[in-house]
Amino acid sequence: MFIKVEGNQFLKANKPYNFIGTNFWYGAHLAAKQSGDRVRLLKELDTLQVHGITNLRIMAGSEGANHLPYSIPIAMQPECGVYNNDILEGLDFLLVEMQKRNMHAVVCLSNFWYWSGGLSQYLSWVTGENIPYPNDTDNWEKYMRFTAKFYTNNEAISAYLNHVKTIIMRVNSINNKPYFEDSTIMSWELANEPYAIQNQVEYLKWIENASVFIKKLAPNQLVTIGGEGNTPFPWFTNNNSLTDYCLGCLDYITIHIWIQNWEWYNPNKHDKTYKNALKKAENYINEHLAIANTLNKPVVLEEFGVSRDNAGYTKQTSVNNRDMYFKDIFNLLLESVKNNSNFVGCNFWAWGGFGNVNTPGTVSNNQMEFIGDPAHEPQGWYSVFESDTSTLQLIKHYNEALSKQNKSIL
């Protein structure tokens, strides 16, 4: 059964669908027969299922030559319009195995950030310009302004839309089901965390054109942007959820919260900074719930996370403060569900599962590590591993509580 939206709620088979899921962005790459590890992939899905996780946010796009710095080592689209069938068949395999476990996918079609190629790679392909990696330049603003030029380049947008069509119209090589007919896919996201920056008019035009394009191809599946929301610095990003999500073909609002990246929280000063950081996170959620009430749409907090205790990066480092943060967020979600409010689901960042932290605290720079932290970020930073038993028990407990609450509504 396809997930539907009715008012400010998700429904599955006419019953409420609420969830605590995860980001499993590397799932298709892990599921690739040649370059991945299908034995591990199955173990990961079984572990997630045991803990009540039914919703996985995954990437269905990685662009650029293989072994680019700070990126996924083997790309789905190594050249513009040219695909690696091993990765595509990995995506097929992932979706089939998710379906067996009654899971649903939020499928992100591109990325504002370079760790999977994304919009900057499309722009680089058509213009010949080099991507100014901020890991090399330490200039994030330069990178963001470069990537935002994507919205003004019709050739780059056309290449992106060709990819969107390729994925949505793909016929699964295992079950022969077109993706647009597969109810395992809950929704399509335009991109991960797109910022408007200096090109707000063109950005909004891109949102409208791309979302209408996807709805025509996949009318039974949901569509959303995949963004952070208003962001803490809207004067720079020019993101505004009220205007960004007002289109009828956008079914729900996504937000991301990064209390550490946004310098609200210092893991080395937990006692001094956590309470205020949590309050800011709660205010950010409420800010977007007010917008969602105006638009009558659900809200999903699809990225949130925090480092291990005292900013540790090894799997052996404790996660007491992370568990505290997760519990507080889960309580906000559970309270919303009890009140039939429009905060309906969340996906923590990110699932590391049975992976290994090979370069703790430093970027992996294109190593095939397959954990939650992308190659351009310190490895072991935000990943939740299978060995983090206290966190997994917390997730299981709250998923059970959500299930019980949904049953009481019926």
How many angstroms from the chain centroid is the CA of residue 344? 16
Q: The tokens of 201 are what?
A: 């008019």
Contacts of 320 (CB under 8 A, 6+ apart): 309, 390
Query: Which run of H or of E encompasses 394?
Result: helix 389-409
Q: CA 180 to CA 248: how far, in whole Å?
A: 19
pLDDT tens for the chain, 410 residues long, are 899 999 999 999 999 999 999 999 999 999 999 999 999 999 999 999 999 999 999 999 999 999 988 999 999 999 999 999 999 999 999 999 999 999 999 999 999 999 999 999 999 999 999 999 999 989 999 999 999 999 999 999 999 999 999 999 999 999 999 999 999 999 999 999 999 999 999 999 999 999 999 999 999 999 999 999 999 999 999 999 999 999 999 999 999 999 999 999 999 999 999 999 999 999 999 999 999 999 999 999 999 999 999 999 999 999 999 999 999 999 999 999 999 999 999 999 999 999 999 999 999 876 778 999 999 999 999 999 999 999 999 999 999 999 988 776 55
Question: What is the β-pairing status of strands 9-12 and 3-6?
Answer: antiparallel
- Give, as one character, the DSSP assignment of residue 130: P
pLDDT at position 406, please? 79
Question: Where would I find the beta strands (DSSP E) of 305-394?
Answer: 343-348, 351-353, 384-385
Q: What is the DSSP string of 343-364?
A: EEEEEES-EEET---SSBTSB-
Q: Which residue has the tokens 């956590």?
A: 274
User: In sequence order, which ranges of 218-259 are alpha helices (DSSP H)?
Assistant: 234-237, 241-244
Residue 47 to residue 101: CA distance in whole angstroms = 11
Domain ranges of the chain: 3-409
Helices (H) and strands (E) in the chain, counts: 13, 13
* 296 CB neighbour count, 10 Å cutoff: 10
Q: Which residues contact 356 (CB under 8 A, 6 or more apart)?
A: 315, 369, 371
- pTM over 0.85? The answer is yes
Report cis status (omega within 30 of 0) of the bond before 31. Answer: no
Residue whose token pair is 């392909």: 125
Query: In whole angstroms, what is the distance from residue 310 CA to residue 4 CA?
Result: 41
Could you say which architecture CATH assigns to the domain 3-409?
Alpha-Beta Barrel (3.20)
Angle at 266 between CA 261 and CA 271, to 5 degrees: 145
Q: How many CB atoms lie within 10 A of CB 34?
A: 11
Tokens 């994030």, residue located:
140
Residue 205 to residue 200: CA distance in whole angstroms: 9
Residue with tokens 């089901």: 177
Question: Residue 13: how many CB atoms within 10 A of its CB?
Answer: 9
pLDDT at residue 267, rounded to an integer:
97
Report the chain's C-alpha Rg in angstroms. Answer: 20
Angle between helices 389-409 and 320-338 (to 10 degrees): 0
Task: Give residue 185's identity as a one-letter amino acid code.
Answer: I
Give the helix, strand, coil percentages of the chain, each rounded to 5.
45, 15, 40
Token couple for 49 = 């299922």
Reading across the β-sheet that carries 9-12, which strands appear in turn?
A: 3-6, 9-12, 15-16
Model pLDDT, residue 366: 67
Task: Report pLDDT for 365.
Answer: 72
